[in-house]
Structure 1
Amino acid sequence: MPSLPPLPTSIVGSLPQPEWLVDHEKLAGQFPPRVRAREIWRVAPEQLAGAQDDATLLAIRSQEDAGLDIVTDGEIRRESYSNHFATALDGIDIDHPGSVLNRSGKSIPVPRVVGPVNRPRPIQADDVRFLRAHTDRTVKITVPGPFTMAQQSQDDHYGDDRELALAYADVVRAEIADLFAAGADIVQIDEPWLQARPEVARRYGAEAVTRAVEGAPGPVHLHLCFGYAAMVSERPEGYSFLPELADTPVDTVAVETAQSHLDPAQLRPLRGKGIALGVLDLSTPEVETPQVVADRIRRALDDVDVERLVLTSDCGLKYLPRESAAGKMRSLAEAAAVVRAELR
């Protein structure tokens, strides 16, 4: 892994996809899709892979131009953070989807589990290779976590929600190994439903995360969030599932603090882990000044291990205008430089 400065900067995962690639009105109508949503792509199927490569290059350059230290592929090839991976597995019927209730209590179509969940091949290894080939910075790739995928599917095979989550953990574990082998420096698993379904998560969420991450050949971050700001406008002031992650083998826990105004004292149970601190408010396209972002960073310095602190956005930037996302990333990089100087 390339050397990183103190307080390295990154985004959590997603960046806005160009209008020439994705129909944003159709994308917003899916919010975000759990099964396939091929209709959002503006490019013909036979030209789509090349167009996604071009847009991914733009995403990489935008992060480099902003001055970020850890670069992702922006999740440009994905219709959502989870369906790109979840619908590529065996044992899943996406042509006859099931349904679950989302955070808002609305029934949404989801993959239906009809047999043993298996991974027929590495799913995102080529994405990592492309990313690694086009930047010399530290690279991070994201994959949906096992608990979240289990909650976003209808089980018509296992008959036990814990067993389903552990089956997803096994495929995530195998994917993580292949992602590091393909050149990833950091792998992030996205687990927003640990927060959305804390009662269920307390029964086996930490177990599923541990099974997916244990023995990983590199550092694994776990992103715990309240959902996209475009979809979930109201943020609670605290996490319902956070101390439970202290004994899991994840290296770093990514949390949101900007829009939620999270009390940093809630992070103290995780003092043994790295914290990726979300300090960009994505509920508005307005670009915060570096001074505002720096103040959000300073609030947490007494409650985290500063030597293991990473500075990030809140949840993904996918639903923001591209110019807003670029401006927010620049403010993040400039704020990090300010706080680094203060800590010398």
Structure 2
Amino acid sequence: MNALIPTALVGSLPKPSWLARPEVLWSPWELEGDTLAEGQHDALRAAVQEQERRGIDIVSDGEQTRQHFVTTFIEHLEGVDFENRETVRIRDRYDASVPTVVGAVGRRQPVFVADAAFLRQQTDRPIKWALPGPMTMIDTLADRHYRSREKLAWEFATILNQEAKELEAVGVDIIQFDEPAFNVFFDETKDWGIAALERAVEGLRAETAVHICYGYGIKANTDWKATLGAEWRQYEQSFPLLQSSSIDIVSLESHNSHVPIDVIELIRGKKVMLGAVDVADHDIETPDEVADTLRRALEFVDADMLIASSNCGMAPLPRQVAFDKMSALSAGARILRDELARVPA
């Protein structure tokens, strides 16, 4: 792995069309049974090979074995009824049909551990695995049992900690928790959201990351972004709290966004996984554009603490667009890496 400014993807990659319908969130599987399981692993293997070919240093699964970054984890838990669905407002932004919590939640068996072990077998590079964060999980459910967002979040945090420890045991180097809800529910983030995340990472030796973004490049998210004004300062709510947390890496959206680059100063001392390619349009960044986004961050984070990444997951994008954005990301990081190598010590 490149010691300076390694590259990584935040989360999802588009699935091949033979596995799931392209460019759709919550896309139904095209296969069933054992054929589905085989196809998911074939797609995961292909995602790894494409990441390596495109110069990604910290390899992930591209979420090829899951329909959605939150609900696929939840559907393996006890106490959640996927037949009894309700329509809820997700992150105060869009309506979705979601499962219902009808009893005590629990984890009867590992959810992603076998897939993570398979990923570990496919590459010698460091690997990263993403889990949904506790607050984002409760925001993707209807709760008819606990009737308390905080109580349910703590239950999920304990379950996530169990899963994370087993992911660590099969060789995952970085465990990432996706918490886009931190950009919306500021009071809850302060009151118990960060604490629940700390519970989820308790006792881990693997590096831990939290990803907070402005969402996939879908219409509901782009419409919301259009209401946020000339500067997006939501990170100012969570970053000071994360700076004093035990989380190792903070992942944020940057390229083509209205996030002021100086918010990175609020997490000084943490590793920064900076979004340097946009996932909300199909235009492929040039390597120089990527390098410029990364370069501007160096005023606020040391180069050896900077990871080049995507703004968010790329599941809704055309597959070739996602691949080309990976190439741009690695080429841009290489430009900056070469620049820094020429600077006298």
- Shorter-chain TM-score tier: over 0.9
| Counterpart in the other structure of 1:228 | 216
Q: How many angstroms apart in 1 are the aligned matches of 2:129 and 2:321?
A: 22
| Match in the other structure for 2:271 | 274
- Contact 2:272 2:305 survives alignment (8 Å): yes
Q: Distance in 1 between matches of 2:87 and 2:30?
A: 27
**What is aligned with 2:259?**
262
Residue aligning to 1:172: 160
- Say yes or no: does 1:45 pair with 2:46: no
Structure 1: segments with no counterpart, 5+ residues: none
Does the 8 A contact of 1:99 with 1:109 survive in 2? yes
Which SS does the other structure have where 2:222 is aligned? coil
How big is each residue's C-alpha offset from its partner over 1:313-340, in whole Å with a ceiling of 9 and x where there is no partner? 0010111111111111111111111101
Aligned residues: 332
CA distance in 1, matches of 2:187, 2:195: 14
- RMSD over aligned Cα, in angstroms? 1.6
| 1:93-112 to 2 correspondences below 5 Å | 93-103=81-91, 105-112=93-100
1:4 Cα offset (Å): 4.2
Q: Secondary structure at the residue paired with 1:117?
A: strand
Per the alignment, residue 326 of structure 2 pairs with: 329
Relative distance call for 1:105 and 1:309 in structure 2 (3 A) is closer
The correspondence of residues 145-164 of structure 1 with structure 2, limited to 5 A, is 145-164=133-152
Q: Distance in 2 between matches of 1:12 and 1:105?
A: 21
- The residue number in structure 2 matching 1:23 is 21
Verify: 1:13 aligned to 2:1, yes or no: no
Residue identity in the other structure for 1:16: P
TM-score (norm 2): 0.92
- State the 1:24 CA deviation: 2.7
Between the two proteins, what is the percent identity of the paired residues?
A: 37
Q: Deviations over 1:290-332 (max 9, x none)?
A: 0111011111110113221111000101111111111111111
The CA distance in 2 between the partners of 1:288 and 1:21, in whole Å, is 28
Q: Where does structure 2 lack aligned partners over 5 or more consecutive residues?
A: none
Question: Letter of the aligned partner of 2:222 in structure 1?
Answer: S
Q: Residue deviations 1:98-141, cap 9 Å, x none? A: 33212454432222112221111111111111111111111111
Q: Distance in 1 between matches of 2:251 and 2:138?
A: 21
Counterpart of 2:171 (choices 183, 187, 191) is 183
Deviation by residue 1:78-108 (Cα, 9 ceiling, x = unmatched): 1111111111111111111233212454432
Question: 1:260 Cα shift?
Answer: 1.1
